[in-house]
Amino acid sequence: MEGKFVAYYRVSTARQGESGLGLEAQREAVSGYLNGGKWKLLQEFAEVETGKGSDALEKRPVLREAVAYAKKHKATLVIAKLDRLSRDVHFISGLMKSGVDFVAADWPFADKLMLHIRAVFAEHERDMISKRTKEALQRAKARGVILGNPNLQADNTKRLRAAQAFARGLKKTLKAYQREGMSQRSMVQELNTVGIKSARGGEWSLVQLQRVLARL
């Protein structure tokens, strides 16, 4: 791989943004794509947004900044996955017209036509999922199913409180790890080494740690 690149990462909820959940995987994907060669990663941009629709670019100031930066430095905008950019056809088309070159690490050899076609299929998939969900809810209502079962909600509330209490119990330890500059993977290894059990009573995984950090 050769050239200058600007990385753009996106998570679609504030909770994911605070925990770093999803961002680490996107960084690894971009790093894997750029591995080897005479390339230079000029800058990284990370954004938390929930906007949808063809005007999504207006709801993503960080992406606008990344596009402007890439154009200024004549660099290629690189993302981990196409659906992390958008599943909206008009949005992808708008980005293509912005004048900046961009590439998806999960589909590195795709040209603009292929990216547009994939966006069409992604948008269709999104619409079909939404349609099937609405139809399933309508059929459930017709059968007399009470949506939002109060017993289930109470059970979920109980589980959430237990998880939050567990997270608070580890707050001082995890904050100390963070002050020491430990990575999340190092924190997982340290927790397992000293014998601190996860909420399920077993060894820690990276995902379990990220969930606890999100609750803090």
Q: What is the pLDDT of residues 65-114, one digit of tens each?
A: 988 999 999 999 898 877 656 555 666 776 777 778 888 888 777 676 77
Name the domain count of the chain. Answer: 2
In this structure, the answer to whether residues 96 and 178 fall within a common structural domain is no
Q: Which residues touch 50 (CB under 8 Å, ≥6 apart)?
A: 12, 13, 14
In this structure, the answer to whether residues 19 and 63 fall within a common structural domain is yes
In this structure, the answer to whether residues 110 and 155 fall within a common structural domain is no
Query: Is 78 part of a structural domain of the chain?
Result: yes
Its domain, for residue 183, covers: 150-215
In this structure, the answer to whether residues 43 and 92 fall within a common structural domain is yes
Query: Is 143 part of a structural domain of the chain?
Result: no
Structural contact between residues 27 and 46, judged by C-beta atoms closer than 8 angstroms = no
In this structure, the answer to whether residues 19 and 86 fall within a common structural domain is yes
pLDDT tens digits, residue range 142-184?
777 666 555 555 666 777 888 888 888 888 888 888 888 888 8
Q: Which residues touch 100 (CB under 8 Å, ≥6 apart)?
A: 67, 70, 71, 76, 77
Query: Is 144 part of a structural domain of the chain?
Result: no
In this structure, the answer to whether residues 111 and 155 fall within a common structural domain is no
Query: Is 135 part of a structural domain of the chain?
Result: no
The one-letter amino acid at 200: R
Query: Is 199 part of a structural domain of the chain?
Result: yes
Structure tokens given for 158? 């109980």
In this structure, the answer to whether residues 195 and 114 fall within a common structural domain is no
Q: Can you give the CATH number for the domain in which 95 is found?
A: 3.40.50.1390
Beta strands in the chain (DSSP E): 3-11, 39-48, 76-79, 102-104
